[in-house]
Amino acid sequence: MTEDQKHIWEREKRAVGELRDGLGKPVDPAIVETVTVLRLLDFTTHSSCGGHLDRPASPYVAFRASSNQADRRFIEEAETQDEQRRRKDEAMQHNAAVLDRLLGYLERFYVDRDVPLQQRLICQGFGVIGYRLTTQSADLVHVATKDERHDLVDVQRQEFDAFTEFLKAEFFGTKDDAPSRAA
């Protein structure tokens, strides 16, 4: 990474470090770099979690179209159900375009990456609200024992970290510096 690239990275990482959720809590340290690179790639993130060992919570980053909040207000202002439906469809198209962009990155990431299906990153849809990048095994934390949950969240975080390094290489044009695509 060049000095200019390091500066860009550190500036955005500091900006992510200043973000707060509705309870005033900062972005979890385990997911800061993922949120940072997604924002550098022009994804609008609105919530995230680094995963937790003390309670059932898998890592995720929620994202949506930058127009999402305005789109949702526009839907509420519709005077007829037909107009509301049309506006919802338009908002969903905006979010779907963002999803399509992220799926392109995931597709390239998994071209030569051989990992168990449970470990793979996926996007869960929430229609008008947006999407969530998480792992295929995200819901398993709810039925895992504490020890199993620790191992599961660790593997999930590793997959996020590998994807983050891939995205950094994509953004900065340093694909030769990307981590090995094999597990």
Against a cut of 0.85, is the pTM above it? yes
pLDDT for res 174: 74
Helix (H), strand (E) at residue 44: strand 44-52
What whole-number distance in Å separates Cα of residue 143 and Cα of residue 98?
Answer: 32
pLDDT value for 8: 96
Sign of CA dihedral 116, 119, 121, 122: positive
Distance CA 22, CA 103 (A): 28
Give the count of alpha carbons within 13 A of 19, CB side only.
Answer: 21
Nearest residue to 134 (alpha-carbon basis) of 104, 107, 156: 156
Which parts of the chain have pLDDT scores under 50?
A: 177-183
What is the model's pLDDT at position 175? 60
Which residues contact residue 90 at a Cβ distance below 8 angstroms, ignoring those fewer than 6 apart? 71
What separation, in Å, do the N-terminal and C-terminal C-alpha atoms of the chain show? 24
